[in-house]
Structure 1
């Protein structure tokens, strides 16, 4: 989820012995001198992805399926490993603390998750695969075009996200109202429960596209980048993700997926 939380966390200490039980290995198609690195997966024939739904357009339910930009990116990795991706919907706290990865609940975490120094203490990240920033959403035609314009007003934030941190740091005089997930946050703006809300720009622009009575009224250059998380020390899988994303950027697959889920091609 968005620049999801930047709050202080305690590093998970679940015994790594759990990971070795029932794990399977597969060879990547890497072209290194050794002919490829060995990637260990927690379940045979599957690449299990921890995420927290919904976070459209990165990951959300469409009928009986979970779809989205993150889902498609990880599908590229699964295809390269000759396995199938399986989505595990789980609370975000267990993702960002590394607890779910340490417990063998999943192989990787793809959850619209901003790379932060705190999170890097708890899990290892792939290279950045998406640039993000915070933005403000309000009813179309409203006067709320900055945090300063919201003094004395209600500003919605998603609990535990970098958007919440940014709003509290820069929104002096506003009344911040917490919501557990982005769906509840956006519904609150639409129904007037709050005057405006802060969240990641990619999510807000997609919501506005489907809800033209709302508008993205400001963007804040926070310089955030999303990464795919793996268990600390899981170098083989991290390198596999980086290899696949690099190849997808080079051969046009990344651009095709970006255009599928966002209105414009990625900046070069």
Structure 2
């Protein structure tokens, strides 16, 4: 019995080392560093306070890195550059309120979702647009390569039912709406709330466009890193740390 207990203990310790410990084999581009790509203009998930990137994703990835015995290092870039950066090995992971889609799963692997979001429609307060069905024949602004871009393209533009204007940031799309260059913006709900609060005369339609799940992107084939991040993420979810971080930034309505 004692021998069995010792064997079990050794196996458990070995498992923990594999899951969380710093290992001899390098699985990140910089030893001891977890480099993550984001687009820090997506509050409350990632945004700047002074010269520091903060937000839901920033806090979660920092805790994941700590569990892996690493330090998180951010690389801020255009959203459309994040997946190519992960694929090429310029960064270890992508985390930017990134929605899991079938198209993205073809080129990167994802962890389990850590949060859910929804796409909403921003319009001017006097706009006749009342819901998704009213977007036909309109010019819609989106952030380039986001799910808002994908869904509007698939649902409306490819069918010849609407026009699309793509912008590098959600803030740029909202400014185009304020200036009357477009009729509506389709974007994630939480940043939408921030942008509307900063610009008078805008509103978020009560009808959501689509719901989605956010996860962390890892290069295909880097199974060891994916498994380590997944194990750490699951511990944070089960302990309630992830929800605590989300609740800190997104108040219950």
Name the TM-score, length of structure 1 as normaliser: 0.77
Matched, 1:88 2:75: yes
Per-residue deviation, residues 27-65 of structure 1 (Å, max 9, x unmatched): xxxx67533224622113321111223222211222111
Aligned to 1:195: 183
Deviation at 1:127, TM superposition (A): 0.6
Q: 2:247 aligns with which of 250, 259, 263?
A: 259
Name the residue aligned to 1:174. 162
Rounded Cα–Cα distance in structure 2 between residues aligned with 1:218 and 1:46: 42
C-alpha spacing 1:183/1:50, structure 2 compared with 1 (3 Å): same
For 1:1-268, what aligned pairs fall within 5 Å after superposition? 33-37=14-18, 38=23, 40-96=27-83, 99-171=84-156, 173-211=161-199, 213-220=201-208, 222-264=210-252
Report the Cα distance in structure 1 between the residues aligned to 2:186 and 2:127, rounded to whole angstroms.
Answer: 15
Aligned residues: CA RMSD: 2.5
CA distance in 1 between partners of 2:64 and 2:118 (Å): 25
Secondary structure at 2:16's aligned position in 1?
coil
The residue aligned with 1:10 is none
Deviation at 1:102, TM superposition (A): 4.0
Q: CA deviation at 1:86?
A: 0.9
Question: Taking structure 1 as reference, are residues 42 and 165 closer, same or farther at Cα in structure 2, changes over 3 Å only?
Answer: closer
Kindly name which structure, 1 or 2, has the bigger radius of gyration based on alpha carbons: 2
CA contact (8 A) 1:136 1:145 kept: no
Find the counterpart in structure 2 of residue 25 from structure 1: none
> 1:150-195, CA deviations, whole angstroms, 9 ceiling, x for partnerless residues?
4444321222232123224444643322222212112222333222
Residue 60 of structure 2 aligns to a residue whose secondary structure is helix
Distance in 2 between the 1:35 and 1:255 partners?
24
- 8 Å CA contact 1:206, 1:262 repeated in 2: no
Q: Is the 8 A contact 1:74 1:85 kept in 2?
A: yes
TM-score in terms of structure 2 length = 0.81
> Which runs of no fewer than 5 residues in structure 2 stay unpaired?
1-11
2:8 alignment counterpart = none
Q: How far off is 1:74 after superposition?
A: 0.3
Larger helix fraction of residues: 2
Contact 1:124 1:231 in 2 (8 A): yes
Question: 1: distance between equivalents of 2:229 and 2:200?
Answer: 36
Distance apart, 1:229 and its partner CA: 0.9
Q: CA deviation at 1:81?
A: 2.1
d(CA) in 2 for partners of 1:210, 1:36: 47
